[in-house]
Structure 1
Amino acid sequence: MTTPDERLGQVTELPEGVRLQFRRSWPDPIDDVWAALTEPDRMVRWIGTYEGERRVGGSGTFTMTHEEAPVGEPMRIVECEAPRRLVVDWETEEGWRVELDLTAQDGETVLLFTQLFAPGTEITDYVLGWHWYLDKFDAEVGDRPAPGDWDGFLAATGPAYGRSSQT
Structure 2
Amino acid sequence: MNQIAGEDTSLALVQRSLRDREIAQGLARAAVLKRRYDAPVADVWSAITTPERIDRFFLPLRGDLREGGTYAFEGQASGRILVCDAPRLLRVEWVPPGCRDDGDQVEVRLTADGPNATWLELEHASVADVFHFDPEAGTYSPALGWEAPLHYLGEYLRGVLPDRPGVEWHEFDEAEEMRLATFRAPEWAKAEARYHATR
Q: TM-score range by the shorter chain?
A: 0.7 to 0.9
TM-score, normalising length: structure 2: 0.65
Query: Which of 134, 141, 156 does residue 140 from structure 1 map onto?
Result: 156
Aligned residues: 154
Match of 1:66 in 2: none
Match of 1:67 in 2: none
Task: Give the share of equivalent positions with the same residue, in percent.
Answer: 23
- Structure-2 change in CA distance of 1:159 and 1:13 (3 Å): farther
Query: Which of 25, 33, 54 does residue 43 from structure 1 map onto?
Result: 54
Task: Map Cα deviations across residues 87-111 of structure 1 (whole Å, 9 max, x no partner).
Answer: 1112452302110111112452110
Q: Which runs of 5+ in 2 are unaligned?
A: 1-9, 134-139, 163-169, 188-199
Counterpart of 2:127, as a letter, is A
Bigger mean CA offset, 151-160 vs 104-113: 151-160
Larger radius of gyration: 2
Match of 1:9 in 2: 16
- Structure-2 change in CA distance of 1:149 and 1:50 (3 Å): closer
2:103 pairs with 1:95: yes
- Say if 1:26 and 1:142, in contact at 8 Å, map to a contact too: no
Match of 1:52 in 2: 63
Match of 1:61 in 2: 72
Give the CA RMSD over aligned residues: 2.9
Match of 2:79 in 1: 75
| Richer in strand (by share) | 1
TM-score, normalising length: structure 1: 0.76
Query: Equivalent residue of 1:9, what SS?
Result: strand
Q: Which runs of 5+ in 1 are unaligned?
A: 64-69
- Structure-2 change in CA distance of 1:148 and 1:102 (3 Å): farther
Query: Equivalent residue of 2:129, what SS?
Result: coil
2:42 pairs with 1:31: yes
Distance 2:58 2:90 in 1: 15
Task: Map Cα deviations across residues 92-148 of structure 1 (whole Å, 9 max, x no partner).
Answer: 523021101111124521101011121533443212111112112221122235998
